[in-house]
Structure 1
């Protein structure tokens, strides 16, 4: 089928996403990200101060509850497929309102466990449903731009929220109560804003023809090898990205003995490029198959790994330049990975089961979130240089996995449907 995407006067697809609901969807994603950025830097202190538990206990509870909600994602996926992504997103926002209100109002271990379970479930449900709402709202041929819009709003919102938190949050019990109230109000506003967003196109009621034989419907995501390979590649690269986020500051300050402002410069480069280049780069990448984009992005991560490995043998000035260049190339890879992964993960599932597939993918994301801190803590403590070799090997593995699903993904700017 020939794409009928909206074109500009020169016949090119627009850089900015268009279509009904784009303003309300973008605003909702931005408000939600602002709340995330406002809370995230102080999350451990928030739970520790208001629950009355030790920092170690809070860390254990957060890890256990994050893993405990994963089986519930099967039910979340079925709800998304049955009701659509919009009601699930509204419910996820309300669930997080209850979490922040509960932690603010009640002290003790039991309220902490219950509220962090709700928070983890709401977070995972939102991550499964949000990209699905984006692709159902996107006009034909603009799936890449709408998915890129979610990432632009997230990066800009989290950055701005973290900056506001650094200015306004006070490290006292009353200050953390205010933090909890602000987040509860923010997610309540998010739920209200989602009500203004159109529900998007409904999923197909009938099975889609495909390679699986018979009616072509893959019975379950865990039996769908192309999807498993794409989800596995994305999970490996997510583990790498989370490891870089937590390991790079420690490595730069303690192993390379560089000034603390160096870390700020590196992450400023990352944030700036993520925000500015997301939409234009997503349009450029539309001409390539998502599997190839994902593989190339994963290999680009190697630039930062190589810079970290080589930096110790260089002079101070050269070291800073090398790390900045490595971070810039790594960020371009990060942009490509997010583009290729989301296009694969949303185009490979049969349309009537997209919610179940995307919810199942959160098992991989949850595993990556749990593995990254353990990997960083283990290797940085004893073999700091080995960490970068391990991450490099993982990126190569992810690229190979992505290349095995090249045949399964349509070019990014086009729908993956094989019929009309």
Structure 2
């Protein structure tokens, strides 16, 4: 067996620009993403609460982007949409670098969040287009691995920049992110996938997605699982810093360790699960997310000497669940999407992550104020509901009865 196949890697010949673009884009995101809120506050002088509201409103305004992408992706092609999103975000971060007006920064934030939605709504159709026959799952895994690796490296650079002090770290991060978006867009222009040929070789209209109850139910279940993925960045830092008596630097170590698992493990997970039903893998991911959440809730009720070991164990559970979910959820949506209109289906699938990203901050903050462990207990219940939903659908929906689905 070739080494690449044994590692779960697809054939990448002629598609290196795509992989390089994903890694470069994510490097810039890892460098600037964690610093945007602080940039608004420290450099532009906008109060932290106001800056948070600005970013939330910008995110809400971008919520229609996946639906728009779904309407045009099969005519325009996913590569063109991804390239446009990259250049738009590059312009937005150029605006961050030069702008200080609240309204200009809000406009740039709106362009950024809309560009992110367009990117995520089109990138998996692009990965499906470049994949050789039978290698779509491996391409989803490899794409995620390149993004996680780039993001982890960018986050390390962000930490180093913060040690400098002053406004310079934030300006450097904004400039780096703008440059990486432009570079990624230029690299992707060299890619020529066969989306239109694959789309138009089948005749007939695309099915009405709003009548596809099975797919809509899966979007709902995946939204609950995506909410779990958001909690590593939204909930864990607050919980560890405010509710636990452990060193604050442990937050960075836990997040970095999880990023390493995602960066190195997705193709191996695909390799070892590609003969199993994707729905079963998603069910296991949901159950493991629930175990992670319950272990997090347990932290405030155990002796101080056990907190760090249990926290490490909980993080290992999260990493295992997240690598299963990351390697499988988009492959599942692609597998049950019709050939005609697949781009539209994959675009709407991204609403799972759109809704969860909007819900996550309020979900955690409101429940955390009531009882510190309450958001984790609620999250565990939601993860189990998601697993149960997928388990039932896999057994009652004819489209999910295939051995590999």
Q: TM-score, normalised by structure 2?
A: 0.90
Q: 1:166 aligns with which of 159, 163, 187?
A: 159
Write out per-residue CA displacement over residues 173-214 of structure 1, whole angstroms, 9 at most, x where no aligned residue: 444333322221111101111012232443332657xxxxxx
Q: Which moved more, 1:309-318 or 1:391-400?
A: 309-318
Q: Residue 118 of structure 1 corresponds to which residue in structure 2?
A: 111
Alpha-carbon distance in 1 for matches of 2:32, 2:288: 31
Q: 1:92 aligns with which of 80, 85, 97?
A: 85
Q: Residue 30 of structure 2 corresponds to which residue in structure 1?
A: 37
Alpha-carbon distance in 2 for matches of 1:11, 1:28: 21
Q: 1:191 aligns with which of 164, 182, 185?
A: 185
Alpha-carbon distance in 1 for matches of 2:3, 2:334: 29
Q: Residue 199 of structure 2 corresponds to which residue in structure 1?
A: 204
Instruction: Kindly report the root-mean-square deviation, in angstroms, between the aligned alpha carbons of the 2 structures.
Output: 2.5
Q: 1:292 aligns with which of 277, 280, 287?
A: 280
Is contact 2:77–2:195 with CA below 8 Å preserved after alignment? Answer: no
Is contact 2:93–2:177 with CA below 8 Å preserved after alignment? Answer: yes
Q: Residue 180 of structure 1 corresponds to which residue in structure 2?
A: 174
Alpha-carbon distance in 2 for matches of 1:173, 1:249: 24
**Displacement after TM superposition at 1:43 (Å):** 0.9
**Displacement after TM superposition at 1:248 (Å):** 2.1
Alpha-carbon distance in 2 for matches of 1:117, 1:245: 21
Q: 1:375 aligns with which of 363, 368, 390?
A: 363
Is contact 1:37–1:160 with CA below 8 Å preserved after alignment? Answer: yes
Structure 1 SS opposite 2:132 = coil
Q: Residue 399 of structure 2 corresponds to which residue in structure 1?
A: 408
**Displacement after TM superposition at 1:358 (Å):** 2.6
Distance 1:10 1:341, change over 3 A: closer
**Displacement after TM superposition at 1:331 (Å):** 1.2
Q: 2:265 aligns with which of 269, 272, 277?
A: 277
**Displacement after TM superposition at 1:315 (Å):** 3.7
Is contact 1:233–1:401 with CA below 8 Å preserved after alignment? Answer: yes
Q: Residue 69 of structure 1 corresponds to which residue in structure 2?
A: 62
Is contact 2:219–2:351 with CA below 8 Å preserved after alignment? Answer: no
Q: TM-score, normalised by structure 1?
A: 0.87
Q: Which moved more, 1:87-96 or 1:176-185?
A: 176-185
Q: Residue 352 of structure 1 corresponds to which residue in structure 2?
A: 340
Alpha-carbon distance in 1 for matches of 2:304, 2:367: 25
Kindly indicate whether residue 389 of structure 2 is the aligned counterpart of residue 394 of structure 1. no
Alpha-carbon distance in 2 for matches of 1:114, 1:275: 32
Q: 1:55 aligns with which of 29, 42, 48?
A: 48
**Displacement after TM superposition at 1:396 (Å):** 0.8
Task: Mark the runs of 5 or more structure 1 residues left unpaired by the alignment.
Answer: 1-7, 209-214
Distance 1:216 1:97, change over 3 A: closer
Is contact 2:41–2:51 with CA below 8 Å preserved after alignment? Answer: yes
**Displacement after TM superposition at 1:217 (Å):** 4.5
Is contact 1:347–1:409 with CA below 8 Å preserved after alignment? Answer: no
**Displacement after TM superposition at 1:261 (Å):** 3.9
Q: Residue 309 of structure 1 corresponds to which residue in structure 2?
A: 297
Distance 1:51 1:148, change over 3 A: same
Structure 1 SS opposite 2:350 = helix
Is contact 1:232–1:401 with CA below 8 Å preserved after alignment? Answer: no
Is contact 2:278–2:332 with CA below 8 Å preserved after alignment? Answer: yes
Distance 1:9 1:20, change over 3 A: closer
Alpha-carbon distance in 2 for matches of 1:341, 1:117: 27
Q: 2:207 aligns with which of 211, 215, 218?
A: 218
Distance 1:72 1:300, change over 3 A: closer
**Displacement after TM superposition at 1:155 (Å):** 1.1
Distance 1:411 1:154, change over 3 A: farther
Q: 1:26 aligns with which of 19, 26, 38?
A: 19
Is contact 1:295–1:337 with CA below 8 Å preserved after alignment? Answer: no
Is contact 2:148–2:259 with CA below 8 Å preserved after alignment? Answer: yes
Structure 2 SS opposite 1:351 = coil
Structure 2 SS opposite 1:141 = coil
Q: 2:218 aligns with which of 209, 221, 230?
A: 230
